[in-house]
Amino acid sequence: MLRARLHTLLVLALLGLMTPLWGADTDAPVILVLGDSLSAGYGLSNDQGWVALLERRLLERGLPHRVVNASISGDTTGGGIARLSAALARHRPALVIIELGANDGLRGMDPQRMRENLQEMIGLSQAQGARVLLVGIHLPTNYGRRYRERFDAVFPELARTTGVALVPFLLDGVAQRRELFQADGVHPTAAAQELMLDNVWSHLAPLLTETSP
């Protein structure tokens, strides 16, 4: 009995040592995704979100990149700034996807403040030598026309002034279809994730070529 337990523990220990060798290539260029619940896959299993599907697509297409998902549900641009430097230092990404701002808007934050936060994150990423893909979001119509226009304009204006690539609207083709949202009416279902990935992919693909070894 004791011998069997020791054998099991030894096997588990060896598996623990081998896991990093079987895992991602540490020399592969890293894609760091810094986002909120839309990228964290709120309400979905770990393999259903668009970021997980991105990792699968990279593998299927023989691309060398590995994905680090640093997204947290409920996060804001202020929260992104607070944790980005540590993530950059730890992962040394070749490419940073910034998908933040939705919660700023839902909380009525000043769009100018959001813009400043996003610009700081772009600058921090570029200072580390990373390419940046900024992911835009639009607010629902019930937030008032003036506020929505100011909010929505932040993403294309920032892309223009900083020169980073832009996904105009992560939920393009999703936001108009109620059946693609969970019961809360806010978070997309598993069926929406492929559409979201396609929205990102068309703007991400050129950056993958530029960051391939």
Domain spans, the chain:
28-211
Is residue 29 within 8 A of residue 211, CB to CB? The reply is yes
What pLDDT, on a 0 to 100 scale, did the predictor assign at position 140? Answer: 87
Q: Which of 25, 27, 184, 202 is catalytic?
A: 184
Report residue 118 as tokens: 């996003």
**Mean pLDDT, all residues of the chain:** 90
Is 184 one of the annotated active-site residues of the chain?
yes
Q: Is 181 helix (H, G, I), strand (E, B) or coil?
A: strand
Q: What is the largest CA-CA distance in the chain?
A: 73
Is 152 one of the annotated active-site residues of the chain?
no
Question: How far apart are alpha carbons 85 and 213 in whole angstroms?
Answer: 24
Decide if domain 28-211 falls under CATH 3.40.50.1110: yes
What pLDDT, on a 0 to 100 scale, did the predictor assign at position 5? Answer: 42
pTM above 0.85?
A: yes
- Weakly modelled stretches of the chain, pLDDT under 50: 1-23
Per-position b or e across 84-118, b if 16+ CB within 10 A of its CB: beebbeebebbbbbbbbbbbbbeeebebeebbbbb
What pLDDT, on a 0 to 100 scale, did the predictor assign at position 25? Answer: 56
Other C-beta atoms closer than 10 Å to the C-beta of 136 total 21
Q: Which of 85, 91, 172, 187 is catalytic?
A: 187
Question: How far apart are alpha carbons 110 and 120 in whole angstroms?
Answer: 16
Q: Which of 37, 39, 71, 125 is catalytic?
A: 37
pLDDT tens sequence across 140-162 = 888 899 999 999 999 999 999 99
Question: How far apart are alpha carbons 213 and 208 in whole angstroms?
Answer: 10
Is 198 one of the annotated active-site residues of the chain?
no
